[in-house]
Amino acid sequence: SAVTTIQTHLYQLRRFFDHEAGLPAGDELIVTRPPGYLVSVPEENVDVFVFRRLVREGRARAAAGRMEEASRLWRQALDLWSGHPLTDVIPGPVLEAHLADLEETRLRVLQLRIEAELEIGRGRDLIGELRFLVATNPLNEWFHGRLMEALCQVGRREEALGAYQELHAVLDRELGLEPSRELRQLRYRMLHAQGARRRVPVGAA
């Protein structure tokens, strides 16, 4: 019967929690709650809750001017990601909305972490990562701008200006557009040796 099938699956799931998942006892996680069953997993055992907690803690450190600690917390949050979430699940509209929000949050945290590391002078360590992000997101001006800043931070101004020219060519070819005003201003500051850092970090809003 359907009830027997469900009970069999619940038994197997409890055994999985007990012996393989490193979680509390299965009987504590799956409890009978009329009219059915409830899965109650501690937040510290759910990556999405840990991710959001680390993001909040990072924002608090950044607000206090402790950018190195903020960067470390945001790195820990991003390290929880091993790919797109729930790739083996067919989502409905509500779950799709949650997944889209989670992906957008991940991108925002990546930007915050890069911004924090530029603020504390780690441009050299970011160049390789930013080159990869530019290559995989060729129309994303934010990544291009941060690559320019990282290169300029270590005295590679010609390469930074070359990165701008590459972006200009891609935008013109793909969209018939030129780089944004922010990027044009960044290029101007580089050309006139005024420094590359923007005055308002991405996490200020």
**Full residue range of the structural domain in which residue 111 is found:** 44-120
Residue 196 has pLDDT above 70, yes or no: no
What does the mean pLDDT of the chain come to? 87
pLDDT of residue 184: 96
Q: Per the confidence metrics, is the pTM higher than 0.85?
A: no
Q: 117-162, pLDDT tens digit by residue? A: 999 999 999 999 999 999 999 999 999 999 999 999 999 999 999 9
Does any domain span residue 33? yes
- CATH number of the domain encompassing residue 106: 1.20.58
Same domain, yes or no: 151 and 186: yes
Last residue of a domain, one of 73, 95, 120: 120
d(CA 31, CA 40): 8
Residue 80 has pLDDT above 50, yes or no: yes
Last residue of a domain, one of 95, 120, 145: 120
Does any domain span residue 35? yes
Q: DSSP characters for 74-118?
A: HHHHHHT-SSSTTTTS---HHHHHHHHHHHHHHHHHHHHHHHHHH
Residue of 25 and 124 predicted with greater confidence: 124
Does any domain span residue 24? yes
Same domain, yes or no: 131 and 184: yes
Same domain, yes or no: 29 and 62: no
Does any domain span residue 205? no
Asked if residues 119 and 67 have their Cβ atoms less than 8 Å apart, the reply is: yes
Same domain, yes or no: 16 and 49: no
DSSP 65: T
23 phi and psi angles, rounded to 5 deg? -105, 170
Average pLDDT of span 65-86: 94
Asked if residues 61 and 67 have their Cβ atoms less than 8 Å apart, the reply is: yes
Same domain, yes or no: 146 and 186: yes
Residue 201 has pLDDT above 80, yes or no: no
